[in-house]
């Protein structure tokens, strides 16, 4: 009986770890409690659905980041919020530059986003990246200590 429970627990653990690795970027974002405001903004604008298709790199500021718009979101602010979020979403996988000169990747908003290492710290534009990239089955999430741009409604 103990062996059967141990085997069951092991199989459940393997299934859970496999499903966690096989989650889309949008689902992986929801599983990050420190990104709840960013995730709520994606959902309010409908961009979360777009992140379920194709390959993406997301530059997601933590909830405690300055200038991060808090929910609830007013209908008249949604176009500006969507534009702001699009600066944080890059089609494809963006990896850090191996040199000090980074190539700019184009965000959905058309702005360039540079990712490179500086003095042992990974930086996206001027925003420090906290920890390694969070991997999803269709992309990467870089957790930022500040947004790439301040939100202006």
Whether residue 10 lies inside any domain: the answer is no
CATH number at residue 112: 2.30.180.10
Distance CA 27, CA 130 (A): 20
Whether residue 12 lies inside any domain: the answer is no
The secondary structure of residue 46, as a DSSP letter, is T
Burial class of residue 41 in the structure, from the number of CB atoms within 10 Å of its CB (0-12 exposed, 13-18 middle, 19+ buried): buried
pLDDT digits (tens, 9 = 90+) for 12-48: 333 333 334 559 999 999 999 999 999 999 999 999 9
Whether residue 3 lies inside any domain: the answer is no
Average pLDDT for 108-128: 88
Whether residue 17 lies inside any domain: the answer is no
Whether residue 149 lies inside any domain: the answer is no
Range of the domain at 59: 24-144
Q: Domains in the chain: how many in total?
A: 1
């Amino acid at each position: 009986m103990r062996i059967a429970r141990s085997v069951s627990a092991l199989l459940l653990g393997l299934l859970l770890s496999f499903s966690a690795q096989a989650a889309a970027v949008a689902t992986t974002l929801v599983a990050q409690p420190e990104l709840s405001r960013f995730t709520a903004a994606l959902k309010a604008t409908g961009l979360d659905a777009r992140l379920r298709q194709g390959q993406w790199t997301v530059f997601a500021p933590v909830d405690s980041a300055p200038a991060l718009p808090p929910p609830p979101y007013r209908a008249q602010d949604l176009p500006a919020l969507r534009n702001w979020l699009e600066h944080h979403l890059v089609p494809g996988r963006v990896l850090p530059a191996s040199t000090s000169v980074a190539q700019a990747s184009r965000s959905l908003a058309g702005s360039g986003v540079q990712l490179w290492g500086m003095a042992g710290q990974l930086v996206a534009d001027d925003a420090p990246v906290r920890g390694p990239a969070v991997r999803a089955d269709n992309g990467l999430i870089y957790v930022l200590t500040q947004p790439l741009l301040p939100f202006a409604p």
